[in-house]
């Protein structure tokens, strides 16, 4: 079974700072998704990464995928309070092509 | 366009009871998956249906079952509820089969099930 490890699990950062969330996964997967979840809410799709070397950017967030290293990163640039949420990476795999979610990274941006 | 809709939004059940959760995918989407999210954890895969056929099943007991209807809506049934079944149940819909390129999944708002 595909295992997903995110770090850090908890991240508190000041507004304006940069930081990177790391997502390691245990077995081959040809696509990876990043989701955001606000407390008590559902999952909001951020990025779909479909190939090795894929890089996508939206606003202050940039995601990348290295399938050979089984690593994805989510980089936050000049954080703002509105980015406070839990972020999940989810490589896809298995017989049903399901998502395998990590435990998530809880991000708090402090003014 | 309406997104993925789930009902009910909240539910309280007693141990041993049975529950049915419902999901309507985005119009035109043919694939529906169910996930369980226990508080403080990431979602765990339960089932995937595509074109009314089960395409995948996660590591959940037989008390969990699901089906997909001709209009692509889906139901998740859980029998003999346990306290540990308390969780947020999420439904995800996708346009095509999961193996298709650029298959993006959209999640509903979830059903919060509390078992007492």
B44-87 pLDDT, tens digit each: 999 999 889 998 899 999 999 999 999 999 999 999 999 999 99
Inspect the interface and report whether the beta carbons of B109 and A103 lie closer than 8 Å: no
A2 in B contact zone (CB under 8 Å): no
Position A51 scores a pLDDT of 82
Cα(B114)–Cα(A49) distance, integer angstroms: 35
A94 inside 8 A of chain B by CB: yes
CB count, 10 Å around CB of B112?
17
Q: How far is CA A75 from CA A61, A63, B23, B36, B47, in A?
A: 6, 6, 33, 28, 32
Per-residue pLDDT band for A38 (boundaries 50, 70, 90) equals: very high
Contact A21, A88 (CB under 8 A): no
Question: Does B102 score more than 80 pLDDT?
Answer: no
CA dihedral A62, A95, A28, A23 (to 10 degrees): 40
Q: What is the mean pLDDT of chain A?
A: 92
Which residues of chain B are within 8 Å of residue A48 when distances are taken between CB atoms?
A: 102, 104
Q: Counting beta carbons within 10 angstroms of the beta carbon of residue A96, is it exposed (0 to 12), middle (13 to 18) or buried (19 or more)? A: buried
Q: Which of A40, A42, A89, A105 is most worth mutating to test chain B (most B CB atoms within 10 A of its CB)?
A: A42
Tell how strand B105-107 and strand B111-115 pair up. Answer: unpaired
At B35, is the pLDDT very low, low, confident or very high (cuts 50, 70, 90)? very high
Q: Tell me the two tokens of residue B84.
A: 């540990």
Q: Chain B partners of A101 at a C-beta cutoff of 8 Å?
A: 35, 42-44
Pull the structure tokens for residue B82: 């346990």
The pLDDT value recorded for residue A29 is 83
pLDDT of A36 higher than 70: yes
Q: Is the pLDDT of residue A82 over 80?
A: yes
Question: Does the beta-carbon distance from B48 to A97 stay under 8 Å?
Answer: yes
Mean pLDDT of B25-31: 91
**What is the C-alpha to C-alpha distance for residues A74 and A46, in angstroms, rounded to an integer?**
10
- The whole-angstrom separation of Cα A106 and Cα A100 is 18
Question: Alpha carbon A48 to chain centroid distance?
Answer: 10
> Closest approach of chain B CAs to the CA of A111, in angstroms?
25
> Is the pLDDT higher at A2 or at B16?
B16
pLDDT at B105: 86
A91 touches B at CB < 8 Å? no
* Cβ neighbours of A96 in B, within 8 Å: 33, 45, 47-48, 55-58, 98
Mean of the pLDDT values across residues B21-42?
A: 94
Mutate to test the interface with B, among A30, A58, A97 (most CBs of B within 10 A): A97
Q: Residue A92 pLDDT more than 60?
A: yes
Residue A108 pLDDT > 70: yes
Cα–Cα dist A21/A19, whole Å = 7
pLDDT of residue B20: 98
């Amino acid at each position: 079974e595909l295992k997903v490890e995110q770090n850090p699990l908890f991240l508190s950062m000041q507004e304006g700072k940069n930081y990177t969330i790391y997502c390691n996964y245990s077995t081959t997967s040809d696509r990876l998704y990043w989701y955001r979840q606000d407390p008590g809410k559902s999952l909001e799709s951020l990025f779909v990464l479909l190939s090795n070397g894929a890089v996508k950017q939206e606003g202050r967030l940039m995601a990348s995928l290295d399938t050979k290293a089984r690593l994805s990163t989510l980089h936050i640039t000049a954080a703002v309070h509105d980015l406070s949420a839990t972020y999940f990476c989810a490589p896809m795999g298995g017989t049903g092509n399901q998502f395998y979610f990590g435990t998530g990274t809880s991000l708090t941006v402090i003014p | 366009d309406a997104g993925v809709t789930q009902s009910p939004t909240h539910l309280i059940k007693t141990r041993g009871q049975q529950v049915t959760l419902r999901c309507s995918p985005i119009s035109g989407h043919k694939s529906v998956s169910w996930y369980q999210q226990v508080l403080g954890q990431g979602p765990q895969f339960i089932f995937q249906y595509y074109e009314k056929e089960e395409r995948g099943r996660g590591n959940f007991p037989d008390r969990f079952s699901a089906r997909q209807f001709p209009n692509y809506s889906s139901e998740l049934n859980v029998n003999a509820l346990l306290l540990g079944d308390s969780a947020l149940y999420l439904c995800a819909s996708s346009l095509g089969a999961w193996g298709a390129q650029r298959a993006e999944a959209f999640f509903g708002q979830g059903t919060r099930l509390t078992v007492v």
